[in-house]
Structure 1
Amino acid sequence: MAKMGIALQLYTLRNETATDFAGTLRRVAEIGYEGVEFAGYGGLAPQELKALLAELNLKAVGSHVSLARLKDNLDEEIEMNLAIGNKYVICPYLVEADRQEPGLHATLEVFKEAAEKLAQHGIQFGYHNHAFELEEKVGDKLLFDHIFAELPADKAVVEMDVCWVTVGGQDPVAYIGKYAGRLPLLHLKDIRKDDEGKIQTVELGQGDVDLPAVIEAAGNAGTEWLVVEQDHCQNPPIESVTNSMGWLKQNYL
C-alpha cells in the first residue's frame, strides 16, 4: 500500500488566510503538512501563488470551486490550477435548488461540461459531499450515488468526506470501498455530539469516527491524499490543525 500524503483544506483556517494568506501557508508548512487544498487563492495571481508554493515546498492537491464559478469562470480556474500544478478541481457544495429537480439536471450538465473542459488540460473534476447526499434520494438511489453514476468515471472523481458520510447514516469504510479507484482525495475529519446532541467537528482522535479503519480503507482504495479539515474548531484553528497533525504522526506517519 502506497503512503498517502497529508494535506490541509484551507477552509479550516479561513479567518487566518483572510488576514495573512502567505503567512498562514507558511505556518501550515512548518506544522508539517505536505499539501494544501484551496478554498480561494488569497487574491494572488497564478504565478504568485505558484512561487509561494514552491518557496514553502507545499503541493496543491485540490481546489474547491463553486458551481457558479464552474459555470461562469472556468477559464480563470483552469489558468490558476495549471499554474499551481493542481490536478483536481472540486465542487464543494450544492444548495437545495441546485440538487433537487429541476435544478439537479442543470447542475449535472454544468458538471459534465466542466469535467470535459478540465480533462482537456489534464485536470479532473470532482465533487465533495456533505450529509444530505447520503440522505436525499433521486428515484431509488441516494443523491451521492446518482451524481457519480451520471458523471464519466474517467473524468470525474470522488472527494469523500468521512465525517458527513457518517452523519448521513452510512458506513464510511463501506463507501470508501464502493468508490475504490475513483477516490484520490479523502477528507479526514472527526466528529462527536456535544451535550445538547449537536454534531461537532473535532480534532483528529477526539471524536467517534474510526479513523484507523478509514485510513486503512483509503489506502486500499488507492487514495492519494488524506485532507484534514475541521469545519469549526473548539481551540484556535492553528492549534487544532497542529493537534490533528500530531495525531497523524502518532497513528499514521
Structure 2
Amino acid sequence: MAIALLMAVGFSSFKSDKKKDIFIGLQLWSVKDDMQKDVPGTLAAVGEMGYKFVETAGYGDGKIYGLDPVEFKKLCKKSGLQFLGAHTGQAVPSKEKWDETMKWWDTCIAAHKAAGVKWIVQPFMDNVGYESLEGITRYCEYFNAVGEKCNAAGIRFGYHNHDKEFTTVFEGKPVYDWMLELTDPEKVMFQLDLYWIDHGGKNALDYFAQYPGRFELYHIKDEKELGESGKMDFKPTFEKRAQSGAKYGIVEVEGYNFEPLESCKKSLEYLKAQDYVDFH
C-alpha cells in the first residue's frame, strides 16, 4: 500500500494517505560498527530483515558514511530501502561563530537534499541547553534558524530527545517543555524517543495531549532489543499516533544480547508480532 510522501504547506507535518499507515525504519547508529566496516553489506542485511527505510548517523563534510549522498541513496535503493532521514548537527554557536555554523548547515542541507531525504534531526545539545533558561532559549532560536533553512530546501528539521530534557527543570518546567514552547512548529518538529521519555519519568501521552501534532517521528527503543526488558509498552503511543502527529517509526538499538544486526532483526520481528503496528 503506497504512502504519499507529501509535505504540508510550510512543512508543518508529513502526511500519509491512510491514517494507520506507518513506515518502520532503522536508525543506522544501531549498527554503527558494521557501517564502518561494510556499508553495502550492512544495508543489504537491513533490507533483507524487512525494514522500509534508514535514518543515518554518518554525515561529515558533505558525504554520508564517506560516500557521495546520491551514491549512498543508490546503495539504499539497491537494498530495498529508502533513505528518508538523518541524524546530525552542531552545538549552538557563539555570535562570533554563527556565520561559520550556518555555512556548515548550508553544506549539510545541500548534501541531504541531493539524496532526497525528508528530514534532518539533531540528536543532541551541549551543556548550554541544560545550564539555564537563557541557554535553552538560545538553542531554540538557533533551531528555528536551522529549521527555516531546511524548509527552504524542502526538508523537515527536528530534535531528538534523551532523558535529560525531562529531568532538567527551569522555573518549574522541564527543558523539553521549554523547547516545545519556544520553537516554531512550522520550523521545528520533534522526534520523540519513546524509551528516553519514559526513562526521564514522563508520559508521552501527556505531551501528545498538551502539544498535539508536534511529534512527527517516533524513535522506538528499549534497553536492548525491543521487548527485551518487559518494561516498554509501545501500544498506547501507537494508538495515539493521530494526536501525536507521528507518521514514521524508527527502531534504534543501543544495547545488545546478540550481534547488532541480529538484535535489529529481532527488534523488527517483535514489532511485526504486535497488532498495533501496520507494515506497508
Q: Is this a same-fold pair by TM over 0.5?
A: yes
Query: C-alpha deviations, 1:85-129, integer Å up to 9, x for none?
Result: 212111101122343235434323321211111111111211110
1:182-201 to 2 correspondences below 5 Å:
182-190=214-222, 201=223
2:205 aligns with one of 173, 179, 193:
173
Amino acid at match of 1:157: M
Task: Provide the C-alpha distance between the structure 2 equivalents of 1:236 and 1:223, rounded to a whole number of angstroms.
Answer: 30
Q: What residue ranges of structure 2 are gaps of 5+ in the alignment?
A: 1-18, 59-63, 93-100
Instruction: Give the equivalent residue in structure 2 for 1:78.
Output: 109
Query: C-alpha deviations, 1:124-160, integer Å up to 9, x for none?
Result: 2111100011111222321001012111111110100
Instruction: Give the equivalent residue in structure 2 for 1:152.
Output: 184
Instruction: Give the equivalent residue in structure 2 for 1:249.
Output: 272
8 Å contact from structure 1 (residues 9, 39) kept in 2: yes
Structure 1 residue 202 corresponds to structure 2 residue 210: no
8 Å contact from structure 2 (residues 217, 250) kept in 1: yes
8 Å contact from structure 2 (residues 86, 119) kept in 1: yes
* CA deviation after TM superposition for structure 1 residue 247, in Å: 0.9
Query: C-alpha deviations, 1:159-204, integer Å up to 9, x for none?
Result: 00011101111112332443332222100112xxxxxxxxxx1211
**Greater Cα shift, 135-144 or 213-222:** 213-222
8 Å contact from structure 2 (residues 73, 83) kept in 1: no
8 Å contact from structure 1 (residues 63, 89) kept in 2: yes
Q: What residue ranges of structure 1 are gaps of 5+ in the alignment?
A: 191-200
8 Å contact from structure 2 (residues 53, 84) kept in 1: yes
- The TM-score with structure 1 as length reference comes to 0.89
Task: Provide the C-alpha distance between the structure 1 equivalents of 2:177 and 2:91, rounded to a whole number of angstroms.
Answer: 22
Task: Provide the C-alpha distance between the structure 2 equivalents of 1:28 and 1:179, rounded to a whole number of angstroms.
Answer: 34
2:192 aligned counterpart, secondary structure: strand
8 Å contact from structure 2 (residues 136, 175) kept in 1: no
**Greater Cα shift, 156-165 or 52-61:** 52-61
Structure 1 residue 92 corresponds to structure 2 residue 123: yes
2:117 aligned counterpart, secondary structure: coil
Q: Residues 118 and 170 from structure 1, CA distance in 2 versus in 1: closer, same or farther, beyond 3 angstroms? A: same
2:120 aligned counterpart, secondary structure: strand
Q: Percent identity?
A: 31
Q: Residues 131 and 203 from structure 1, CA distance in 2 versus in 1: closer, same or farther, beyond 3 angstroms? A: same
Instruction: Give the equivalent residue in structure 2 for 1:37.
Output: 55
8 Å contact from structure 1 (residues 160, 187) kept in 2: yes
8 Å contact from structure 1 (residues 8, 36) kept in 2: yes
Query: C-alpha deviations, 1:48-69, integer Å up to 9, x for none?
Result: 1122222223122321112249
1:137 aligns with one of 166, 169, 172:
169
1:73 aligned counterpart, secondary structure: helix
Amino acid at match of 1:21: V
Task: Provide the C-alpha distance between the structure 1 equivalents of 2:209 and 2:115, rounded to a whole number of angstroms.
Answer: 30
Question: Runs of at least 4 residues of structure 1 off by over 4 A?
Answer: 68-72
1:26 aligns with one of 38, 41, 44:
44
Aligned length: 243
* CA deviation after TM superposition for structure 1 residue 72, in Å: 5.0
Amino acid at match of 2:66: G
